[in-house]
Amino acid sequence: MYGHSRFRRCGTALTSQGRLTFDWPYKSLGGKESGSMLPLEGVTVVSLEQAVAAPFATRQLADLGARVIKVERPTGDFARGYDTSVRGLSSHFVWLNRNKESIVLDLKAAADRAVMDQLLDRADVFVQNLAPGAAGRLGLGAAELRAKNPRLIVCDLSGYGSSGPYRDKKAYDLLIQCETGLVSITGSPDEPAKTGISTADIAGGMYAYTGVLTALYERERTGRGTAFEVSLFDALGEWMGFPYYYSYSGTEPPRAGARHAAIAPYGPFAAGDGGQVFLGVQNEREWVKFCEQVLDQPGLAGDPRFDANPKRVANVFELKVAIEAVFATMSSEQIEQRLEQVGIANARMRTVSEFAAHPQLAARDRWREVASPAGPLRTLLPPVTVPGREPRMDPIPEIGEHTQAILAELGGHAEPPRD
């Protein structure tokens, strides 16, 4: 499949006459053959990346075996400086950059620009999320690159896309959350809020990742690469589907804090011991069971204020009072036990530290260790793992750590490290 020899590669293409097999000269930056290869071993990704969206996409590719060469400016990916929470390292950078090789290039310098060309001549995939127009000004536009290397897959990540009135507008995660309407429906009735993680960046990175996988699959059939773009605005816009269609009612989903804006009961409820229990009732069958077997109030199920989900949402505050009147007689643990016994979904609100100590992670052996410039760090396995094949856990790189090795591999002369 994607694995290849150093100098030549065979492939197939679909034509009107059927499937043809052919080969072509191909200069590779490595790759190995093994019965236990990860799915993307043999794929080389060159990524001119910074911050979150593109690094998120390429880390997923690296976890599945792709070789990711991270091209950094002389001052480094600015995400390296977001904080110093991880023994002096940035929490964002640690999260997004394991399994990568870091090369420092000043792309405005002719010699370094030539190195970039060599990398792209040998690459399978090029990902970039520079500021609007920057890649084109550097001669790294998709059309120009694919004219030189027709098998190259080019992914351009941007805030708003390459056309339209917002094309050149700077875009960061919070600002995309604002422009897509996400902030308007997040938070409490009194105050809007952003999500606690970089939702727009992650959405963009996820679609870039799946786009690359799609393009790699297509190339196996056609022998040709492709170019595509992902905007954070479009990616998060896709996730705004429910609020958009909800607005057909003539109103928008209200900000509802920790409860669901369109399903009830679904959210936190106070218990008699001062704790909170989060629960969710998804359909009328569960609602009847909840009233009869958890609340011991079968008559509540048929109350005309609550006998259908839209009515429960419209009368959500009266519903909360009715439920908490019963819960006031029980502890959090007693409520959770009842919910579990009858199959009503529930959860505890945990802190980040409590999540890290979650028994489910330990029971499923989800923790691994990765090396870093600050020493070994615990890290989670990627969500997608292949049975019988351990995901890569290569170190988080220092800035420019692999510059000399990559230059030597390209046949160039190792230069003294930059200051």
Q: Give catalytic residues, as residue numbers.
A: 260
| Alpha-carbon span 348 to 350, nearest angstrom | 6
DSSP state of 36: T
Secondary structure (3-state) at 73: coil
| Alpha-carbon span 227 to 215, nearest angstrom | 8
DSSP code per residue over 301-351: HT-TTTSSHHHHHHTHHHHHHHHHHHHTTS-HHHHHHHHHHHT-EEE----
CA-wise closest residue to 133 among 94, 169, 84: 169
User: To the nearest 10°, the Cα dihedral for 139, 226, 130, 197?
Assistant: 180
| Alpha-carbon span 236 to 245, nearest angstrom | 15
CA-wise closest residue to 127 among 153, 166, 88, 105: 153
DSSP code per residue over 173-219: HHHHHHHTTTGGGSB-SS-B---SS-HHHHHHHHHHHHHHHHHHHHH
Report the 3 state secondary structure along 267-309.
Answer: EEEECCCCCEEEEECCCHHHHHHHHHHHCCCHHHHCCCCCCCH
CB-CB contact of 235 with 83 (8 Å): no
| Alpha-carbon span 10 to 36, nearest angstrom | 21
* Phi, psi angle pair for 320, to nearest 5°: -60, -40
As given in the structure block, the two tokens for residue 260 are: 């669901």
Give 408's strand partners.
Answer: none
